């Protein structure tokens, strides 16, 4: 089993073609739904009393929700706007609401998880949560500009507690104050994490381990409409694939980045979660086969 902890949100997403208001989102939502294609996934998250039943049903259809808390107050809200290239997003508002000072409850049966993903969330909460798991074989985390600007020291501390950090290029630069991505990764590895995966949006990703660099291209598509959650879907697929194979060696981690790129490409093909909710396992298999074909030479 895999445990995913992080934000579950009501997102407002402004794309050049459509504005979505208060739709189901959140880093743990995207990551968990993505990983659920590979392995049974338990979610630890918090929502407010305003969280619509229809969204609860979507989560329940894919994930174990024994770790979901419903608190008095409003659900975490995020508001972001893309430019016309879809590659630059400006955060207009982050409202923590019930996520602020949340003390997660870890169901007893989750504690056996050997794979744990700390999706984008308050780094102090992530640090406290990982301590509750004593059989972890592989853990991974992500972060976002909001936490780098408000809790940088905690973000670095969180990196020390996990095996792998997945982070996008802009955030890696912001955090390390380096521009070159190899330098960024080296600095992050120096802080104490073994693997660093830098996501580069439509340009794929770079995996770093000791002196190894493994680049993987994105699966190119011409109908990207909403990139929200692509990074979380990438990470969810990586750790979901590893958990399904119960492997953590470098070869498996390299392969997991291919699944990451493939799930990221599905995520951007629909608004909000639609891209992930519309596919079947067979679509993933087909796209991975195609990915292999187009990258072979
Ligand atoms: P991505 O597009 O992969 O960067 O992920 C976007 C998702 O992250 C959205 O669904 C948001 O709800 C969520 N998110 C945005 N800001 C934060 C934050 N500060 N902490 C946790 N989750 C966030």
Strand pairing class (64-71; 41-48) = parallel
Mutate to test the pocket of ligand 1, among 12, 27, 168, 271 (most ligand atoms within 8 A of CB): 27
Task: Select from 4, 8, 9 the residue to mutate for testing ligand 1; criterion: most ligand atoms less than 8 Å from CB.
Answer: 9
The answer, yes or no, to whether any atom of ligand 1 lies below 6 A from the CB of 165, is no
134-146 pLDDT per residue, tens: 899 999 999 999 9
Mean pLDDT to the nearest integer, 46-73 = 98
Q: pLDDT at position 7, please?
A: 96
The residue whose CA has the least distance to atom 9 of ligand 1 is 26
Q: How far apart are CA 23 and CA 187, in angstroms?
A: 36
Taking the complete model, does pTM exceed 0.95, yes or no?
Answer: yes
- What's 75's DSSP letter? P
Report the nearest atom of ligand 1 relative to the CA of 78: 12
Taking the CA of residue 219 as centre, how many other CA atoms within 13 Å lie in the half-sphere pointing to its CB?
25
Tell me how far apart the alpha carbons of residues 88 and 49 are, in angstroms, rounded to a whole number.
32
- The residue count for the chain: 297
Note whether 45 and 129 are within 8 A (CB): no
Q: By the 8 A CB rule, do 258 and 43 touch?
A: no
pLDDT in tens, 241-271: 999 999 999 999 999 999 999 999 999 999 9
d(CA 13, CA 11) in angstroms, rounded, equals 6
Nearest CA to 267 out of 225, 206, 239, 295 is that of 225
Cβ of residue 28 lying under 6 Å from some atom of ligand 1 = no
Cα separation, 211 vs 13, in Å, equals: 39
Which of 21, 99, 120 to mutate for ligand 1's pocket (most ligand atoms within 8 Å of CB)? Answer: 120
pLDDT tens for residues 206-216?
999 999 999 99
For the chain, the farthest-separated pair of C-alpha atoms sits apart, in whole angstroms, at 56
Atom number, ligand 1, closest to the C-alpha of residue 232: 3
User: For residue range 100-112, what is the model confidence (pLDDT) as tens digits?
Assistant: 999 998 999 999 9
CA of residue 291 to ligand 1 center, whole Å: 27
Q: pLDDT at position 121, please?
A: 94
Return the residue whose CA atom lies nearest to atom 10 of ligand 1: 26
Closest CA to 61 of 33, 39, 86: 33
- Contacts for 129-135: CB closer than 8 Å, 24+ residues apart: 129/5, 129/44, 129/104, 130/161, 130/162, 132/106, 133/3, 133/106, 135/111
Q: For atom 20 of ligand 1, which residue has the closest CA?
A: 121
């Amino acid at each position: 089993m895999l445990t995913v902890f992080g934000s579950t949100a009501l997102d407002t997403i402004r794309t050049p073609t459509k504005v979505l208001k208060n739709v189901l989102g959140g880093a743990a939502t995207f990551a968990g739904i993505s990983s659920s294609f590979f392995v049974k996934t338990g979610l630890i998250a918090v929502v407010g009393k305003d969280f619509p039943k229809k969204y609860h049903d979507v989560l329940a259809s894919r994930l174990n929700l024994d770790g979901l808390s419903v608190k008095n107050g409003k659900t975490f809200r995020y508001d972001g706007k893309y430019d016309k290239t879809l590659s630059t997003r400006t955060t207009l508002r982050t409202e923590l609401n019930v996520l602020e000072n949340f003390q997660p409850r870890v169901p007893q049966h989750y504690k056996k998880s050997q794979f744990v993903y700390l999706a984008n969330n308050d780094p102090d909460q992530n640090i406290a949560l990982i301590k509750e798991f004593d059989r972890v074989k592989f853990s991974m985390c992500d972060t976002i500009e909001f936490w780098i600007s408000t809790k940088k020291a905690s973000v670095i501390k969180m990196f020390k507690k996990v095996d792998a950090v997945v982070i996008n290029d802009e955030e890696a630069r912001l955090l390390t104050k380096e521009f070159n991505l190899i330098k960024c990764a080296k600095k992050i590895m120096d802080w104490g994490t073994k693997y660093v995966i830098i996501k580069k949006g439509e340009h794929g990703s770079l995996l770093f381990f000791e002196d190894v660099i493994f680049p993987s291209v994105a699966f190119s598509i011409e109908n990207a409409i909403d990139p929200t959650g692509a990074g979380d879907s990438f990470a969810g697929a990586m750790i979901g694939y590893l958990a399904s194979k119960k492997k953590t060696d470098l070869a498996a981690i390299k392969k997991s980045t291919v699944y990451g790129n493939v799930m990221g490409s599905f995520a951007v093909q629909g608004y909000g979660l639609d891209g992930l909710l519309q596919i079947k396992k067979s679509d993933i298999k087909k796209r991975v086969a195609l990915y292999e074909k187009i990258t072979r030479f």
